[in-house]
């Protein structure tokens, strides 16, 4: 394990690993439950993303799932058990579902969708920064079929990604979509062909699928991590301002007043320009923004 300024938080329902320099891989680890996230799992993910944002040496996070599912949403069995008893409901952390719905963090989180991706799982990919999926992945927002509503930030954000009619189709019918369909609609950046991971008898080798999809996402994460950490943070903030519905002029002014001045005062912009002139690869420093 790399040397960190502070140790990573303990997790029971997720595995933490570091597959490339400056990259954190978080693997949801409840495969028997299709990686549904329970109350403890939400709290753990909140702590993990907060730790990543505060850890200087980490620049990009990757989220995936173990087994045949990325994440099938909330733990409805837990919901049902609590609704049938007088036990008090564990509050959702401030960052919301999976630590992503209302996350205030600055570093990008990429999703490696290895398999089934429903409900809150689909909301997490909508709330993330980039998404790469297996060609055998299936996703959807089936909440209306269970009498519940997608309340992890997906509804207002989905319409900005796919448009009103497509968003209405997804949330009002609760249909399941292929990864290829989601890519055409702009929900997924890239689909990885995993037909070579189908073994004898038509059974899918889930580990092989995960290795292939996660491997590609780690490549992209490493590409991002190889850029100026300061410029990545500020660029991401600029895109987020527009995505959240702020006008271009106002967003640019907010970005300039809040971040750009600090960017120009930092060491990485000087190093990037110097490296360009000297025709060499920049030696970035951990961001202090």
pLDDT score of 89: 61
Let me know if 67 is a catalytic residue.
no
pLDDT at 283 over 60: yes
pLDDT score of 271: 80
pLDDT score of 83: 57
Set 99, 120, 121, 153: catalytic member: 120
pLDDT at 143 over 80: yes
Q: What angle do CA 154, 159, 162 make, to 5 degrees?
A: 110
Cα gap 196→138, rounded to integer Å: 18
pLDDT score of 84: 57
pLDDT score of 90: 65
pLDDT score of 69: 97
pLDDT score of 266: 83
Residue 9 φ/ψ, nearest 5 degrees: -65, 150
Provide the β-strand partners of residue 71: 117
Structure tokens at 96: 């919301």
Report residue 258's pLDDT band, with 50, 70 and 90 as the boundaries: confident
Which DSSP symbol is given to 5?
S
pLDDT score of 31: 96
> Across residues 172-197, what is the average pLDDT?
96
Q: Which residue shows structure tokens 């570091």?
A: 18
Mean confidence (pLDDT) of the chain: 90
Query: What tens digit of pLDDT does each residue of 55-108 get?
Result: 999 999 999 999 999 999 887 776 666 655 555 566 788 998 999 988 989 999
Let me know if 123 is a catalytic residue.
yes
Set 55, 78, 123, 183: catalytic member: 123
pLDDT at 18 over 70: yes
pLDDT score of 214: 98
Query: What tens digit of pLDDT does each residue of 34-52 get?
Result: 999 999 999 999 999 999 9
End-to-end CA gap in the chain: 25
**pTM across the whole model:** 0.90
Set 14, 74, 112, 221: catalytic member: 74
Q: By 3-state DSSP, what share of the chain in percent is helix, strand and coil, each rounded to 5? A: 50, 15, 35
Query: What tens digit of pLDDT does each residue of 206-231 get?
Result: 999 999 999 999 999 999 999 999 99
Set 99, 143, 154, 167: catalytic member: 143
Let me know if 94 is a catalytic residue.
no
Report residue 248's pLDDT band, with 50, 70 and 90 as the boundaries: low
pLDDT score of 71: 97
Let me know if 74 is a catalytic residue.
yes
């Amino acid at each position: 394990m790399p040397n960190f300024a502070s140790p990573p938080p303990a997790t029971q329902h997720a595995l933490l690993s570091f597959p490339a320099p400056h990259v954190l891989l978080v693997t949801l680890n409840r495969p028997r439950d299709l990686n549904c996230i329970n109350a403890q799992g939400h709290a753990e993910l909140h702590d993990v993303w907060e730790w990543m944002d505060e850890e200087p040496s980490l620049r990009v996070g990757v989220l995936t799932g173990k087994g045949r599912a990325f994440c099938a949403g909330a733990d409805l069995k837990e919901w049902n058990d609590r609704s049938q008893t007088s036990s008090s409901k564990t509050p959702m952390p401030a960052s919301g579902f999976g630590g992503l719905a209302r996350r205030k963090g600055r570093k990008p989180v990429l999703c490696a969708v290895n398999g089934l991706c429903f409900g809150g799982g689909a909301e997490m990919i909508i709330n993330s920064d980039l998404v790469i999926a297996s060609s055998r992945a299936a996703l959807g927002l089936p909440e209306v079929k269970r009498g519940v509503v997608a309340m992890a930030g997906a509804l207002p954000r989905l319409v900005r990604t796919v448009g009103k009619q497509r968003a209405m189709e997804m949330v009002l019918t609760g249909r399941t979509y292929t990864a290829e369909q989601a890519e055409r609609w702009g929900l997924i950046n890239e689909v990885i062909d995993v037909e070579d991971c189908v073994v004898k008898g038509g059974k899918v080798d889930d580990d092989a699928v995960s290795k292939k999809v996660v491997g590609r996402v780690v490549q992209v994460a490493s590409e991002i991590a190889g850029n100026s950490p300061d410029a990545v943070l500020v660029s991401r903030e600029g895109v987020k301002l527009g995505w959240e519905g702020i006008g271009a002029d106002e967003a640019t002014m907010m970005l300039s007043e809040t971040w750009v001045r600090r960017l120009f005062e930092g060491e990485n912009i000087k190093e990037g320009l110097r490296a360009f002139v000297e025709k060499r690869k920049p030696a970035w420093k951990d961001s202090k923004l």
